[in-house]
């Protein structure tokens, strides 16, 4: 039955392609992609049988609350954070919705596929709620990249960017987590740093918009207010993002929550302080973004015994660096390197992500059995054969590899997206080209 169904679906895809003469239209492309995803789930994924163990029945109870928090971050937090562009609100929320729904499915397939290929072990994958969490994490990386090119890529370009990014994301995650056994509980390296520098690589290849279009990269009072909704949702639920997969043994998950909240509070205070010091008033761009930098930076070490003061220091430094990035570094990158970063993902995710990776290096090198008792191998699995210094070196190597894979793959995909294979966005930072707009909005535009 499965074989017959697959043959019929392949025939349908072929007929659609012929009928549309290999059309590059968005609707046909997304439909075919979803059919391919359907075939993959039909062939390679299943649920466990009904003879559930106690662990199986308690899994949803344990994970569902934090999973929904992460889900809220992906669909509301990231979506509304990008609504600051006054003519791009439909695309910010709508395309965020679309890409997230696609990436969750695609990431489940690709992440499991990469692991099986590299491990040379092929078997049916039994889905559970942690599979959805893995999908959300991968979607988060893609949405970070989306922020770098916001308003400058077509929906079709965005679809293909997401599909390819998930492949490189999964390879990097396998190398870092499985091969190098690096600890990155909150994804400072494997989610935030990867997503930021992949997006920057794509953006670099797309080039800088003309000055005429750069003028459209602006906000108004209402759009900035909507963006603050995204900020507040992300700020509130970030402890769940960092801690959803943390074990409950040895107070690990509890440390994640406390460390993340303290780091976020500190980055919020520092963002307001630094913004006012440098601009004499509060800049809404700083407040929307730099207040979140502590959650990014503390991710790698959030489950470690860094002490409450350590989490606060990380948050303070992250908030300061993020504001400095928006005030000075973004202009430098644009003027000197022709690198245009619409949302400033380098300042919110890139630099704080690197800071978080370095924090993981220091935390690993200073991790002793005195701090963790006899449970240090539960945190750093490789410590059974490595010294603390060696683990720190592996953490640093994982950060460098992440930077290398994300930037190089971003440059490659950006080159492809900017080629003649794709129609390029005509009106930058404007919904009009792809959305049916209310009449009053059309008159304003």
Amino acid 18: pLDDT: 42
**Tens digits of residue pLDDT in 226-242:** 999 999 999 999 999 99
Cα 395-117-173 angle, rounded to 5 deg: 25
The domain locations on the chain are 65-421
Amino acid 23: pLDDT: 41
**Tens digits of residue pLDDT in 189-203:** 999 999 999 999 999
Tell me the average confidence (pLDDT) per consecutive run of 10 residues in the chain, 445 residues long.
54 48 70 96 89 72 93 96 94 96 97 95 92 96 97 94 97 96 93 97 93 86 95 97 88 91 98 96 96 95 85 96 96 93 96 95 81 67 83 94 97 94 86 84 51
**Could you give the CA distance from residue 302 to residue 296 in angstroms, rounded to a whole number?**
10
SS3 state of residue 423: coil
**Could you give the CA distance from residue 312 to residue 402 in angstroms, rounded to a whole number?**
26
Q: Which residues contact 95 (CB under 8 A, 6 or more apart)?
A: 146, 155, 158
Amino acid 7: pLDDT: 58
Domain topology for 65-421: Ammonium transporter fold (1.10.3430)
Q: HSE of 422 in the Cβ direction (CA atoms, 13 Å)?
A: 23
**Could you give the CA distance from residue 313 to residue 356 in angstroms, rounded to a whole number?**
12
Give how far Cα 401 sits from Cα of 137, 169, 175, 343, Å: 19, 12, 9, 24
Burial class (CB in 10 A: 0-12, 13-18, 19+), 244: buried
**Could you give the CA distance from residue 149 to residue 238 in angstroms, rounded to a whole number?**
24
């Amino acid at each position: 039955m499965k074989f017959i169904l697959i043959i019929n679906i392949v025939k349908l895809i072929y007929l659609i392609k012929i009928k549309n003469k290999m059309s590059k239209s968005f609707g046909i492309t997304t439909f075919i992609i979803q059919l391919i995803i359907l075939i993959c789930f039909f062939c390679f994924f299943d649920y466990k049988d009904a003879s559930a163990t106690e662990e199986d029945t308690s899994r949803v109870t344990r994970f569902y609350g934090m999973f929904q928090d992460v889900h809220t971050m992906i669909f509301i937090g990231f979506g509304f954070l990008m609504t600051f562009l006054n003519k791009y609100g439909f695309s910010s929320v709508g395309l965020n919705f679309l890409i997230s729904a696609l990436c969750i499915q695609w990431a489940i397939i690709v992440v499991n596929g990469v692991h099986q290929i590299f491990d040379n072990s092929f078997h049916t994958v039994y889905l559970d709620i942690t599979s959805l969490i893995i999908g959300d994490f991968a979607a988060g990386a893609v949405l970070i990249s989306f922020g770098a090119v916001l308003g400058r890529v077509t929906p079709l370009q965005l679809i293909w960017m997401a599909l390819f990014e998930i492949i490189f994301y999964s390879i990097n995650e396998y190398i870092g987590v499985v091969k190098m056994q690096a600890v990155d509980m909150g994804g400072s390296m494997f989610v935030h740093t990867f997503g930021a520098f992949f997006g920057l690589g794509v953006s670099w290849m797309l080039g800088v918009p003309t000055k005429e279009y750069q003028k459209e990269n602006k906000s108004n009072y209402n759009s900035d207010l909507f963006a603050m909704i995204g900020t507040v949702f992300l700020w509130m639920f970030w402890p769940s993002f960092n801690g959803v997969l943390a074990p409950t043994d040895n107070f690990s998950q509890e440390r994640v929550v406390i460390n993340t909240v303290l780091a976020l509070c500190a980055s919020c205070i520092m963002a307001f302080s630094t913004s006012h010091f440098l601009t004499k008033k509060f800049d809404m761009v700083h407040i929307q973004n730099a207040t979140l930098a502590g959650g990014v930076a503390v991710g790698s070490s959030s489950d470690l015994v860094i002490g409450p003061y350590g989490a606060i220091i990380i948050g303070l430094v992250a908030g300061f660096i993020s504001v400095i990035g928006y005030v000075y570094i973004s202009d430098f990158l644009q003027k000197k390197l022709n690198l245009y970063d619409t949302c400033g993902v380098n300042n919110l995710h890139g630099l704080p992500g690197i800071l978080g990776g370095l924090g993981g290096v220091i935390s690993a090198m200073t991790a002793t059995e005195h701090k963790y008792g006899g449970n240090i191998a539960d945190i750093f699995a490789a410590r059974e054969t490595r010294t603390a210094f060696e683990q720190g070196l592996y953490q640093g190597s994982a950060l460098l590899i992440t930077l290398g894979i994300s930037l190089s793959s971003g440059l490659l995909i950006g080159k492809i997206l900017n080629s003649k294979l794709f129609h390029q966005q005509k009106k930058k930072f404007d919904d009009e080209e792809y959305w049916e707009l209310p009449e009053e909005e059309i008159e304003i535009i």
